[in-house]
């Protein structure tokens, strides 16, 4: 079952799981995935925690204790989510040690309601790093305009970051610039750059979902022939940008002092359209130095029937550009698509967080002991 995943790993793709729950931790499932399925990291987001805490088991005792202490709902959520991330980080610690800090990572996101507030994001990132208190944590910061200076500031303080919700190539370049600026600040402050890591989460499937919808509206044979092409093209051109930035003179100066490259991470790799092969955003985005974070269904599909044939990004840049140009020539605005997806991404995570606040508040009230 794991040959395809081993081949993927051998090609230089780090396999991370895009899911976390207390049950996954306490049942031994996460340890099993690390041991048997080549999983070397975990990502979380507000939607994942909302699902885990609202519908999962294993939280009642902690919720009861928090209710007894009469903590606020915001504090309760942070106590619960950081406990899960801390435990997952401990399970992944041997991977972290074996890879010199590159993998064995667990990501936790700043409150999505802060996505457009730079200073609040910085303060939250520092607080989360302190709360989890594990060297193999990545603090997730959204790649909004307000997020960019926060990324620089947080990296400059020596905190490792997962930059999330990247859809556009222009924004991705801004993210890499923010990371390098952060490393330069850290260097000036005398920090050990070898200890600072980052990934840039470039979202994939949602691009096809939006572009395909617009291609269907155009309705021509030419439009239909372009369905399922935009997301891969966009991601492949992101990898081209990554290769360019991390072979620059600016990077060379940081490389000399043991800085780490900010790896591209393919996020949202579960296929949304059942017409596409369920391993599309895994096997067609194979390149060294990347991370692919998969929902469990995609991980299982890749293990079962993924065809890993080597590097599937090298040599694709001209074709990728031609495909995005062809989409644009049909009147579909790339800038409009990626901005809409960023806005929707922030809104969806904020809505999940509010759902989580509401459901947790209801549980705290239910479990609160009667006075006396």
Residues 6+ apart with CB under 8 A from 292: 8, 13, 14, 15, 16, 265, 266, 269, 281, 282, 285
Q: DSSP letters of 289-300?
A: TEEEEE-HHHHH
pLDDT of residue 370: 80
Low-confidence ranges of the chain (pLDDT < 70): 1-2, 371-372
| Active centre residues (catalytic) | 140
Instruction: Report pLDDT digits (tens) over 194-252.
Output: 999 999 999 999 999 999 999 999 999 999 999 999 999 999 999 999 999 999 999 99
Q: DSSP letters of 141-179?
A: EE-STTHHHHHHHHHHTT--EEEEEE--HHHHHHHHHHH
pLDDT of residue 1: 47
pLDDT of residue 154: 98
Using a cut of 0.85, tell me whether the model's pTM lies above it: yes
Burial classification of residue 56, based on how many CB atoms lie within 10 Å of its CB (0-12 exposed, 13-18 middle, 19 or more buried):
middle
Instruction: Report pLDDT digits (tens) over 40-64.
Output: 999 999 899 888 888 777 999 999 9
pLDDT of residue 57: 77
Question: Taking each helix axis from N to C terminus, what angle separates 334-367 and 60-69, rounded to the nearest 10 degrees?
Answer: 70
């Amino acid at each position: 079952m794991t040959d395809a995943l081993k081949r993927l790993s051998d090609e230089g793709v780090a396999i991370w799981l895009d899911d976390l729950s207390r049950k996954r931790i306490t049942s031994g499932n996460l340890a099993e995935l690390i041991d048997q399925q080549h999983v070397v990291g975990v990502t979380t987001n507000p939607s994942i925690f909302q699902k885990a805490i609202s519908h999962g088991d294993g939280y009642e005792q902690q919720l009861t204790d928090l209710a007894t202490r009469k903590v606020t709902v915001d504090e309760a959520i942070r106590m619960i989510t950081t406990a899960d991330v801390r435990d997952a980080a401990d399970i992944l610690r041997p991977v972290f040690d074996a890879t010199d800090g590159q993998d064995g990572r667990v990501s936790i996101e700043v409150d999505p309601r802060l996505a457009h507030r730079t200073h609040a994001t910085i303060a939250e990132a520092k607080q989360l790093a302190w709360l989890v208190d594990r060297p193999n944590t990545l603090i997730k910061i959204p790649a909004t305009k307000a997020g960019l200076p926060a990324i620089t500031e947080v990296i400059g303080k020596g905190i490792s970051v997962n930059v999330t919700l990247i859809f556009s190539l222009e924004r991705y370049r801004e993210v890499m610039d923010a990371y390098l600026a952060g490393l330069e600040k850290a260097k000036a402050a005398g920090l050990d750059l070898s200890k600072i890591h980052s990934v840039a989460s470039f979202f994939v499937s949602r691009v096809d979902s939006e572009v395909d919808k617009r291609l269907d509206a155009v309705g021509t044979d030419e439009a239909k022939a372009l369905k399922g092409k935009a997301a891969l093209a966009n991601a492949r051109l992101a990898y081209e940008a990554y290769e360019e930035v991390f072979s620059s003179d600016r990077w060379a100066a940081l490389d000399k002092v043991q800085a780490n490259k900010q790896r591209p991470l393919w996020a949202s790799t579960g296929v949304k359209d059942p017409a596409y092969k369920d391993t599309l955003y895994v096997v067609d985005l194979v390149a060294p130095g990347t991370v692919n974070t998969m929902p469990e269904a995609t991980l299982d599909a890749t293990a079962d029937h993924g065809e890993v044939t080597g590097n599937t990004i090298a040599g694709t840049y001209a074709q990728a550009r031609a495909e995005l140009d062809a989409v644009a020539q049909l009147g579909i605005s790339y800038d409009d698509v990626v901005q809409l997806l960023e806005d929707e991404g922030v809104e969806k995570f904020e809505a999940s967080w509010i759902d989580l606040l509401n459901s947790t508040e209801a549980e705290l009230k239910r479990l609160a002991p009667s006075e006396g």
